[in-house]
Structure 1
């Protein structure tokens, strides 16, 4: 998910992805610290709930950025996919297992919300293997690598995405009944909360981004034309998804994390229209301003910021508790979580620079002395 060097950055993509990073921090802060009443029966809770729907923009942006990336060989994509998966499971260790060891167990209220008990092997394995957005990203990178290897047509990822959307709900919960293989099935088809973003249907958002990225290149990177066409596609998706949701709301959009076809299409359409609006906004201002610089920074470091904010929020449960605070406390925590996450990212960047400088210096000394 971390952005690699691109031929030409698309400011609207960076703006949208950077905004989604900030929104994710707010959503996760609300989900962990806000009481159920705060999340469901307050103005702030309702706002954050709906803002959370827009965070899927960065899934679409991942697909677009993949096409614009210079890392296109099948081997390079597979290496990147394995790296993202390793980061995902590493994040689970940092979020759950390390604090459990350091603090003598996970907060009881948090573990109970999953129907588990703290300190058991079952609980440790559950949280180690918890499927999140990084697992989705890693697996989808493999899929994109295969598509990229065998076809350059922009319609292939589009067709694959639409097929995934159309059959996801019917496959939801599919298992073969074999330990180990059932976990693989869950990564693809889960209908429970051991996997929050199963490949079916969420990979479709990334694959639609891949389709859009190829379309963008086909249009000779004409951004104005690209976003206008994105608007029309988005409106068509909203119309189709809206009709499907109207016909059976519970089936199509009853569970946000495990959407039916109508929910996926509607959410995709909404995100594409939002991209069009974002492009209008960024064209109204000069590129080099503090807000754009902040959001571009978040966009460039989306993977590490995702890990940092989740680890910070989870560790914060030992101080602030789980599901304990009203909307005003949660509102006050938003800038704290955002500022702390960004500060840790900046410190991490500085450490990487120092490490690279030291490593380069030592390598040069070895060459001189050899």
Structure 2
């Protein structure tokens, strides 16, 4: 009985910890995205709110680390299952591009000239539809990474293979960054894999390494009999060691090892990986003190991570049509916008889920009626 209780307790903690840190990482995206889209450059760079949001931005890759851990938790590690899941995420990513960019441009008058020019484009040019429709973001990263995982999963027999792949990607990313053979379609695929320009914000190299380090810890968790406390406990020394190693590399050569946030070198990737491991460790310690109602809200965002991400981005970019781009310098106004968009995102998500549940129920009733009358 004691062993059963321990297993149940560990499983419960695992679920709560994962839902908590993933939900937090998703919720952090709204204030980060609001600041990126609506605040002036000076407000982002020099105000207290801007500094806080820059720190919060470093925690959004928790979503990727947890994604890697989830391979083990779900138990669905077959090649075909992972591959098909990757295709679905990739389709969702490009559907998001259509909804947040192409639809406003085609039907609602388009974005302000300053927004288009910030991406190095010419207002009114037809090429803008192609650029925004093919923009590489975190869903493209997740989808392609899952497809690659489906292809290499047979070679990842133990946690150390996952760790080796992690560091191979980290070390190779900067060396192959920006390589293009000069063939348009192939060039775009290369940009998705290791691009260094802002038509792709999250190239697979190095960002897939965050998924693989999550897989490493997930496989370690499984080796230790699903002991979540052991797995999370190991994140503390690994996180500290990664930060120390990455910091040393960045001090040695910051332009090479850090670059910019979206196109990191080895040192920057390792630092950020360490930070997110420590955040997951801290989340495991904190979650037990979180009030149940607050946890339920965070867990709801976690369970609906892709839909929540999709909805908040559409709301934020459609808001540009009303409020303009990069114009707000009032920190209180920005905070109010963050809260309002968070509430609105939850509201749209709830309505969407209610409608989907209603449609599924009606479909099940029709099938049941059809079988009864057959």
Normalising to structure 1: TM-score of the pair? 0.95
SS in structure 1 of the partner of residue 345 of structure 2: helix
Name the structure 1 match of 2:39: 34
1:8 deviation in Å? 8.0
Name the structure 1 match of 2:370: 366
Within the alignment, does 1:217 sit opposite 2:197 as a pair?
no
RMSD of aligned residue pairs (Cα, Å): 1.5
Within the alignment, does 1:99 sit opposite 2:104 as a pair?
yes
Name the structure 2 match of 1:185: 190
Name the structure 1 match of 2:316: 313
Name the structure 2 match of 1:334: 338
Within the alignment, does 1:299 sit opposite 2:302 as a pair?
yes
SS in structure 2 of the partner of residue 180 of structure 1: helix
Pairing partner for 2:143 from 134, 138, 143: 138
Name the structure 1 match of 2:356: 352
Aligned residues: 363
Name the structure 2 match of 1:166: 171
Pairing partner for 1:58 from 54, 59, 63: 63
Pairing partner for 2:51 from 42, 46, 52: 46
Q: Provide, for residues 268-301 of structure 1, a one-character-per-residue CA deviation record: whole Å limited to 9, x for no partner.
A: 0111112111111123457xx0111111111111
Name the structure 2 match of 1:323: 326
Distance 2:290 2:156 in 1: 38
Name the structure 1 match of 2:7: none
CA contact (8 A) 2:83 2:149 kept: no
SS in structure 1 of the partner of residue 25 of structure 2: helix
Q: Provide, for residues 170-189 of structure 1, a one-character-per-residue CA deviation record: whole Å limited to 9, x for no partner.
A: 11111111111000000011
Name the structure 2 match of 1:156: 161
Distance 1:134 1:9 in 2: 25
Unpaired runs of 5+ residues, structure 1, are 1-5
Q: Provide, for residues 121-158 of structure 1, a one-character-per-residue CA deviation record: whole Å limited to 9, x for no partner.
A: 21100000000000000111122223323432111121
CA contact (8 A) 1:230 1:276 kept: yes
Larger mean Cα displacement after TM superposition, 300-309 or 101-110 = 101-110
Distance 1:9 1:280 in 2: 12
1:7 deviation in Å? 9.5
SS in structure 2 of the partner of residue 55 of structure 1: coil
Within the alignment, does 1:86 sit opposite 2:102 as a pair?
no
Larger mean Cα displacement after TM superposition, 153-162 or 83-92 = 153-162
Q: For residues 268 and 79 of structure 1, do their structure 2 counterparts lie closer, same or farther at Cα, with a shift above 3 Å needed?
A: same
Name the structure 2 match of 1:264: 269
